[in-house]
Amino acid sequence: MTPPSIQPASDASAPVLRTATVSEIDISCRLPLMVLFTSAAKWLVIGWVFELIASIKFHDPNFLADYSWLTYGRVHPAFSNSIIYGFCLQAGFGVVLWLLAQTGGVALAHRWLVTVGAIFWNLGVTVGVIGILAGDSTGFEYLEMPGYAAVLMLIGYLLIGLLGVVTFHQRRERQLTVSHWFFFTALFWFPWIYSTANLLLVTFPVRGMTQAVIAWWYSQNLLVVWLALVGLGTVFYLVPRLAGRELTGRYTAIFIYWVLILFAGWGGIPNSASVPAWLPTLSTVSTVLSLLAFIAVPLNVCETLGCSLAPARRNYPLSFFVFGVIAFCISGFARAGCALLDPNQIANFTWLNPAISQLSVYGFFAMVMFGAIYIILPRLLGVGLPWPKLVRVQLWLSGLGIILVVLPLAIGGVIQEVQLGDARRPFIEIMRSSLMSLRMSTVGDLLLLVAHVLFLANVAGLVIGFYRARAVVTYEELTEDLFKAARAKA
Amino acid sequence: MNLGPLIFLAAFFGLAWSWFGMVLTPQIQIGRLQQTNTVPAGATYPVGRPGLARQGLAVYRANGCAYCHSQQVVQTGTVCDVVLTDAGTNHAGLLVALRKLRPALSEAEDEQLMTGLPKTIRERLTKDEADPMVKTLTSAGAKATTWIVPVGPDIARGWGTRRTVAEDFLFDYPVMPGSQRVGPDLANVGLRLPDAKWQLRHLYAPRSEVKGSTMPPYRFLFEKRRIEHTRSSDALSLPSDLAPEAGFEILPKPEAVALVAYLASLRADAPLFVAPLSVAEPVTTSTNNAATNQTTAASSGATNAPAK
């Protein structure tokens, strides 16, 4: 390893060691990130079409009921997998790679291989979603993609993750920021949990209820820990820069990191689980302990912003971050509330559960990714957003949409919890009374779908704008001689 | 400062820590579970599902039934009832004992209690309250037992007789305990709704069987066929508005038959050491033996009460 004392930038005899310029870094990231971000945006729209189909089935159970491919039990996991593996993880990889290269002052290592990795990943997600729709789901929530898709995804990830580590290793700027802690850990976290879950649940399945415990552990580590590591890493890096300030609580951020990796990974076992009582008990304890992180994050961000929303007022990417941080905090409290204040131990069977996961996956993580992609992609490609006004529209649509999805579901979930606790109330009546909130959330889903189409339009527009600009330049270069010759003749 | 290796160590430690707690330890404890015996009958539990039911499990998985149906009965506690099983010969003594236990009742009502046994004398007690009462009754020459009754909204709703435990899922792959109750819990559906014909009709057209149901119809698990000579005995008997045109019949595909076999195999009602409950004794078991075993079950109930 290069000793940190070397000052590569001033060492002219070793050009390999010099710090890459900003534009060189951007050019190195261009192709892989373009693939990652456009595919992520595409999966977001595809996923939300699935969600809308699933949501409409609550209005009319006969809707598309004659196609086995589109039954609720297949469309719903197709939705969650498209969003999580197609959008969240993919966008997260892109942001992590860019920030590692950017903060390290070094070009992205082997960008072609990273691009191949991204293509493998997308191939895996496509095969996986088709597998789920064809009835090949594994049956474990959030790990539904069949084993053959998981292999493709793991190969893709290994290329992406490994080259992320290589980029980190080659960094010229030795000073680390807090974001490095989050990102570097996330790079290791995912392959470990993904391979453990796939090996123990799909390849060499363990016996009985242990499967469910491992599936809960996996989804908790993916949806709470991994998403928080990447999302918060992004927030802690970009928010201070967008607001033009320093991150005030550097040590608070490290504290948040430790709380997340030590406690959050133990949560996720519901109180009702048919397992020995120590598991849900420990899980509840760690969920409550991890609240420390969920309290500290908004405080830290608030202090960095000078405890005012003024910096976010005209700054839309920053508004995405602020929304995400608030959603992050609320989701943490809701999760702890579910684990603690649950007299009948059935909160995890109600609509509260999906409300909380939507809030943390979408309200927090996806919003942070939108903000980050709106900053990163135009910079990388060197062209402006084709429709900058749509960013504001998307912010409003996404914000309102997710509130309209989460709030009715949460209220419906609380009512459901109370009613399920009263055995005299017929079940069908409880079900029908929660339909109202489900139908309201369909409106939210519709808004979100529109928001995602706008997002995709902006991202695709950027890429098209980039290639058009490039084509024009190339055309001019190629035709220069012809024109010269023509002018000379005249 | 170069902290790269340090971050790696932190990540490694954090993940190994959660892996140890939530993967390795459960695997050592639950992953090594073996078949157990029911209490007090001593039958082996669980036994593997029949082949057709296993195929049905695959249909259940493929169509994502677990996104709407849980298979986990929740129990909030355990209570004990005092049950008089045999009045014995010392009626006068028993009457005194009964008056002590039920002072509010008149003598005639107590007399009534002694006929048509077994009868529940006192309900919803703790084990410490119930056991002395049983002793009072037995010292009066009668036979009585402490009847263990799991309680909770799910059980009151009739979704099960006890909470589900890890043993109930021992031979299943994949285990799908479910995370939502859009539909009712299915842990004991084989016990609640054993009629296969009903299940098939319900899968084909849920609203014809359950008014106002929000379950989507699974018509793709059925096929419409021309009646060749006589109507097949497997054909669904549907109400006129759902029935196919004349000369045709609706037959379940093998998937539907397998799925219904799986549903019929779902029953988590065996009394176990970890989830005790009293069940009516099989006629062959000697009463004496059963009574002692029941006490064992009851004491295990005291130590293994649900944690929350």
| pLDDT value of position A5 | 34
| pLDDT value of position B286 | 42
| pLDDT value of position B41 | 87
Please state the separation of Cα A406 from the chain's center in Å: 17
* Cβ pairs bridging A and B (under 8 Å): 247
Contact A286, A330 (CB under 8 A): no
Shared domain for B104 and B178, answered yes or no, is no
Residue B308 clears pLDDT 60, i.e. is over it: no
Judged by CB atoms closer than 8 Å, whether chains meet at A221 and B18 is answered as: yes
Selecting from B10, B179, B206 the residue whose C-beta is nearest the C-beta of A261 gives B10
Average pLDDT on B240-246 reads: 87
Chain A residue with CA closest to B7: the answer is A181
Greatest Cα-to-Cα distance within chain A, rounded to the nearest angstrom: 97
| pLDDT value of position B116 | 80
Residues of chain B contacting residue A189, judged by C-beta atoms under 8 Å apart: 11, 15
Judged by CB atoms closer than 8 Å, whether chains meet at A213 and B22 is answered as: yes
Task: Give yes or no for B166 touching A (CB within 8 A).
Answer: yes
Domain contains B292: no
Selecting from B14, B174, B184 the residue whose C-beta is nearest the C-beta of A140 gives B174
Domain count, chain B: 2
| pLDDT value of position A73 | 94
Contact A66, B220 (CB under 8 A): yes
CA distance A200 to chain B (A): 9
Residue A105 clears pLDDT 60, i.e. is over it: yes
Domain contains B258: yes
Task: Give yes or no for B248 touching A (CB within 8 A).
Answer: no
Average pLDDT on A92-116 reads: 93
Q: Which residues have C-beta within 8 Å of that of residue B255, sequence separation ≥ 6? A: B59, B221
What Å distances lie between residue B146 and A53, A171, B37, B85, B88, CA to CA? Answer: 53, 72, 21, 11, 17
The dihedral formed by the CA atoms of A384, A385, A386 and A389, expressed in degrees to the nearest 10 = -130
pLDDT band at A171 (very low <50, low <70, confident <90, very high): confident
Domain contains B112: yes
- CATH number, residue B140: 3.30.1390.10
Q: Domain locations in chain A?
A: 18-476
Shared domain for B90 and B222, answered yes or no, is no
Judged by CB atoms closer than 8 Å, whether chains meet at B175 and A196 is answered as: no
Shared domain for B96 and B145, answered yes or no, is yes
Selecting from A137, A180, A281 the residue whose C-beta is nearest the C-beta of B64 gives A137
Contact B161, A428 (CB under 8 A): no
Distance CA(B235)–CA(B225), nearest Å, equals 9
Judged by CB atoms closer than 8 Å, whether chains meet at A212 and B175 is answered as: yes
Distance CA(A427)–CA(A195), nearest Å, equals 40
Identify the DSSP state of A59: T
Residue B189 in tokens: 């559906």
- CATH number, residue B219: 1.10.760.10
Chain A residue with CA closest to B30: the answer is A210
Judged by CB atoms closer than 8 Å, whether chains meet at B64 and A73 is answered as: yes
Phi/psi of residue A77, nearest 5 degrees:
-65, -30
Average pLDDT on A278-283 reads: 94
Shared domain for B236 and B122, answered yes or no, is no
Distance CA(A160)–CA(A169), nearest Å, equals 14
Residues of chain B contacting residue A266, judged by C-beta atoms under 8 Å apart: 18, 21-22
Dump the DSSP string for chain B: ---HHHHHHHHHHHHHHHHIIIIIHHHHHTTT---EE-TTT--EEPPPPPHHHHHHHHHHHHTTGGGT--------EEEEEEEEEE--S-HHHHHHHHHHH-TTS-HHHHHHHTSSSSEEEEEEE-HHHHHHHHHHHHHTT-EEEEEEEEESHHHHTTS-SS---GGGGTT-SS----S--SS---TTHHHH---HHHHHHHHH-HHHHSTT--PPP-GGGEEEEE--SS--TTS----TTTSPSTTEEEEE-HHHHHHHHHHHH-------SSS----PPPTTS-HHHHHHHHHHHHHHHHHT----
Judged by CB atoms closer than 8 Å, whether chains meet at A181 and B62 is answered as: no
CA distance A228 to chain B (A): 14
Closest CA to B180 of A58, A145, A425, A446: A58
Angle formed at CA A165 by CA A162 and CA A166, multiple of 5 degrees: 90
| pLDDT value of position B306 | 39
| pLDDT value of position A357 | 94
What's the mean pLDDT when you consider all of chain A? 90
Shared domain for B44 and B170, answered yes or no, is yes
CA distance B109 to chain A (A): 29
Domain contains B302: no
CA distance B96 to chain A (A): 37
- Write the pLDDT tens digit of every residue in A322-340: 999 999 999 999 999 988 8
Domain contains B279: no
Average pLDDT on A384-401 reads: 92
For residues A388 and A312, the model is more confident at: A388
| pLDDT value of position A21 | 67
Angle formed at CA A305 by CA A304 and CA A306, multiple of 5 degrees: 90
Closest CA to B272 of B34, B52, B95: B34
| pLDDT value of position A129 | 97
- Write the pLDDT tens digit of every residue in A190-241: 999 999 999 999 999 999 999 999 999 999 999 999 999 999 999 999 999 8
Interface test with B, best of A209, A260, A429, A430 (most B CBs within 10 A): A209
Shared domain for B113 and B136, answered yes or no, is yes
Selecting from B72, B174, B180 the residue whose C-beta is nearest the C-beta of A274 gives B72
Judged by CB atoms closer than 8 Å, whether chains meet at B217 and A189 is answered as: no
Chain A residue with CA closest to B182: the answer is A431
**Burial annotation A146-171 (CB, 10 A radius, 16+ → b, else e):** beebbebbbbbbebbbbbbbbbbebb
Shared domain for B50 and B81, answered yes or no, is no
Fold held by A18-476: Cytochrome C Oxidase; Chain A (1.20.210)
What's the mean pLDDT when you consider all of chain B? 86
Judged by CB atoms closer than 8 Å, whether chains meet at A61 and B216 is answered as: yes
Residue A355 clears pLDDT 50, i.e. is over it: yes
Domain contains B11: no
Contact A284, A271 (CB under 8 A): yes
Q: To 10 degrees, what angle do helices A89-104 and A22-56 make?
A: 170
| pLDDT value of position B112 | 82
Burial class (CB in 10 A: 0-12, 13-18, 19+), A303: middle
pTM, two decimals, is 0.91
The one-letter amino acid at A264: A
Shared domain for B55 and B185, answered yes or no, is yes
Residue B194 in tokens: 């054993």
Judged by CB atoms closer than 8 Å, whether chains meet at B177 and A221 is answered as: no
Domain contains B52: yes
Identify the DSSP state of A359: I
| pLDDT value of position A404 | 95
Shared domain for B125 and B163, answered yes or no, is no
CA distance A386 to chain B (A): 39
Question: Where does A382-426 have alpha helices with state H?
Answer: 388-420
CA distance B282 to chain A (A): 28
Identify the DSSP state of A8: G
pLDDT band at B297 (very low <50, low <70, confident <90, very high): very low
Residue A214 in tokens: 């491992």
The domain in which residue B201 lies consists of 39-74+158-265
| pLDDT value of position B281 | 66
Residues of chain A contacting residue B67, judged by C-beta atoms under 8 Å apart: 72-73, 76-77
Chain A residue with CA closest to B73: the answer is A272
Distance CA(B38)–CA(B23), nearest Å, equals 28
Residue A12 clears pLDDT 70, i.e. is over it: no
Contact B30, A276 (CB under 8 A): yes
Residue B57 clears pLDDT 50, i.e. is over it: yes
Residue A178 clears pLDDT 80, i.e. is over it: yes
- Write the pLDDT tens digit of every residue in A415-439: 999 998 888 999 988 988 888 888 8
* Cis amide bond preceding B174, omega within 30: yes
Shared domain for B142 and B244, answered yes or no, is no
Selecting from A77, A257, A420 the residue whose C-beta is nearest the C-beta of B64 gives A77
Residue A446 clears pLDDT 90, i.e. is over it: yes
Contact A61, B216 (CB under 8 A): yes
Chain B residue with CA closest to A201: the answer is B174
| pLDDT value of position A92 | 97
Tell me the sheet residues that pair with B248.
B226
Residues of chain A contacting residue B23, judged by C-beta atoms under 8 Å apart: 196, 200, 213-214, 217
Shared domain for B255 and B126, answered yes or no, is no
Distance CA(A287)–CA(A339), nearest Å, equals 8
